[in-house]
Chain A
């Protein structure tokens, strides 16, 4: 399917476990982003990537790790999940062309850490 997909859509994990959220896009967009959405905070940027093997921190990177070995994939790993990481996670992508281009969002992953 064309577009941007995330998996799993729902995940329950225990405190201290490692969990990886997957993001895949079919547009060959250069830029990819990970956000978390929490009530009262809106969408906050965790990490972003300008191209394969190029990543950088966003506003709330602590406790998260990303990688980007292929342009189309941008996994987000919580190395040791904490309850404060319970959230809805969104992946987004956009073209690398200069200018005001749209970010396209995936459907989200709802993560619960017990």
Chain B
């Protein structure tokens, strides 16, 4: 019940295309869903996050879609750029515990 399942494991997208990464969870107590971006040799950094009281959150080219009934959430990167090439992690948290459960990561490569 504590798992967060992330797919795909890797993704190759052409410049200007849409990148979509999906995550699914089981624990209905989770109430915070961040996405982290990690460049090679660096630590993960928060990209965008959502709470289950909204179905979508957009920040620039990055959008989280959240489906509470299906217990799924996804990251959409519009107009993908080579600079978006990185590993993306979804996570889930019950804010009362302060801990994150991370997905296994998606390695995104955007071709120029």
A107 to B105: give the CA distance in the assembly, Å.
17
Interchain CB contact under 8 A, B102 and A44: yes
Interface string of B44-57 (1 = CB under 8 A from A): 11100101000000
Contact A42 to B46, CB < 8 A, known contacts A31-B98, A102-B34: no
- B42 located at the interface, meaning its Cβ lies under 8 Å from any Cβ of chain A in the complex: yes
A62 to B100: give the CA distance in the assembly, Å.
19
- B65 located at the interface, meaning its Cβ lies under 8 Å from any Cβ of chain A in the complex: no
The binding surface of chain B is classed by DSSP as loop
Q: How many residues of B contact A (CB 8 A)?
A: 25
Interchain CB contact under 8 A, B95 and A42: no
Name which residue of chain A comes closest to B100, CB basis.
Answer: A103
A31 to B100: give the CA distance in the assembly, Å.
12
- B80 located at the interface, meaning its Cβ lies under 8 Å from any Cβ of chain A in the complex: no
Within 8 A of B (CB), among A96-112: 96, 98-100, 102-103, 105-108
Q: Which of B9, B43, B103, B104 contacts A90 (CB 8 A)?
A: B43
B99 contact set on A, CB distance < 8 A: 33, 45, 48, 58
Within 8 A of A (CB), among B86-105: 89, 93, 95-96, 98-100, 102-105
CB distance from A25 to the nearest CB of B (A): 12
A48 contact set on B, CB distance < 8 A: 98-99
Interchain CB contact under 8 A, A98 and B44: no
A45 to B31: give the CA distance in the assembly, Å.
19
Within 8 A of A (CB), among B47-72: 49, 51
**A90-B43, A102-B34 known; 7 other A-B pairs, CB under 8 Å?**
A42-B6, A42-B89, A44-B102, A90-B44, A94-B98, A100-B51, A108-B43
